[in-house]
A = this chain, B = another copy of it.
Amino acid sequence: MSLPRIAVDAMGGDEGVRTMIEGAALARRDHDKFEFLLVGDQKRIEAALEDHPNMRGASEILHCEDVISGDEQPSRAIRRAKTTSMGLAVNAVKEGAAGAAVSAGNTGALMAMSKLSLRTMPGIDRPALAALLPTLEQHDVVMLDLGANTEADARNLVQFAVMGAAYSRIVNDFEKPVVRLLNIGTEQIKGTEALRDAAARLTEANEEGGLDLTFDGFVESDKINRGETHVVVTDGFSGNIALKAIEGSARFVTDLLRQAFTSSLRSKIGFLVSRPATELLRHHLDPNNHNGAVFLGLNGVVVKSHGSATAKGVAHAVNVAARLLEENLTQRIADNLAELGEAALSSNGNGAASAAGSEAAE
A150 engages B191 (CB within 8 Å): yes
Q: A245-B241, A249-B225 are in contact. Are A270 and B274 (CB under 8 A)?
A: yes
Measured between alpha carbons, how far is A274 from B271 in the docked complex, in Å? 7
The answer, yes or no, to whether A75 is at the interface (CB within 8 Å) is yes
Q: Which of B147, B244, B254, B274 contacts A274 (CB 8 A)?
A: B274
Which residues from B are CB-within-8-Å of A75?
A: 361-362
The answer, yes or no, to whether A236 is at the interface (CB within 8 Å) is yes
Q: Which 4 A-B pairs have the closest CB atoms?
A: A270-B274, A222-B248, A270-B273, A267-B277
Given contacts A241-B242, A256-B284, A269-B274, 18 further A-B contacts (CB under 8 A): A150-B191, A221-B242, A221-B244, A222-B245, A222-B248, A225-B248, A238-B238, A241-B241, A241-B245, A246-B252, A250-B252, A257-B278, A257-B281, A260-B274, A263-B280, A269-B273, A270-B270, A271-B277
- Residues of chain A at the chain B interface (Cβ within 8 Å): 71, 73-75, 108, 112, 136, 147, 150-151, 182, 184, 187, 189, 191-192, 220-226, 236-238, 240-257, 260-261, 263-264, 266-267, 269-278, 280-281, 284-285, 361-362
Chain B nearest Cβ from A199, distance in angstroms: 15
Q: Is the interface of A mostly helix, strand, loop or mixed?
A: helix
